Amino acid sequence: MADIKTDEHISRAALLKRIEASPLVKNFLMLRGSQTLINGILNLIKIQPAADVSEVIKCKDCKNWGGVTFGNVCSRWSAPLAGMKNCTKPDDFCSYGERKDT
């Protein structure tokens, strides 16, 4: 088995749907005539604990980011009156990111 170095977060519902629609699964069922193995695999996926993840908001999509027009300044982390200007790149992100209203 390959060494997994990072977690990858996927949609459980999408994975189950893909497995059930897979030609590999359909061919196995036609050849073997039993759904026991397939049900076992699907149940293993269903009982896996959910990952504790949240959506990442990149600076370019954050309501606090001024964009190129305003010098890539993040208003959340800048204090203009104190002379502090914090610039970020479009693909940067932080734990305080809030998506812009569209």
The mean pLDDT values, 10 residues at a time, for the chain of 102 residues are 60 86 80 75 86 84 83 79 79 88 75
Question: 34, exposed or middle or buried, with CB in 10 Å at 0-12, 13-18, 19+?
Answer: exposed
- Give the pLDDT confidence score for residue 22 in this predicted structure: 86
> Structurally, how many domains does the chain consist of?
2
Q: What are the respective helix, strand and coil percentages of the chain, to the nearest 5?
A: 40, 10, 50
2 inside domain: no
- Distance between CA atoms of 54 and 6, rounded to whole angstroms? 16
**Distance between CA 38 and CA 26 in Å, rounded?**
10
Residue 42 in 3-state DSSP?
A: helix
Is 58 contained in some domain? yes
Domain that holds residue 26: 12-47
pLDDT of the residue at 1? 44
> How much is the pLDDT for 78?
76
Query: Within this chain, do residues 98 and 79 fall inside the same structural domain, yes or no?
Result: yes
- Same domain flag for 98 and 58: yes
In this structure, the answer to whether residues 58 and 102 fall within a common structural domain is yes
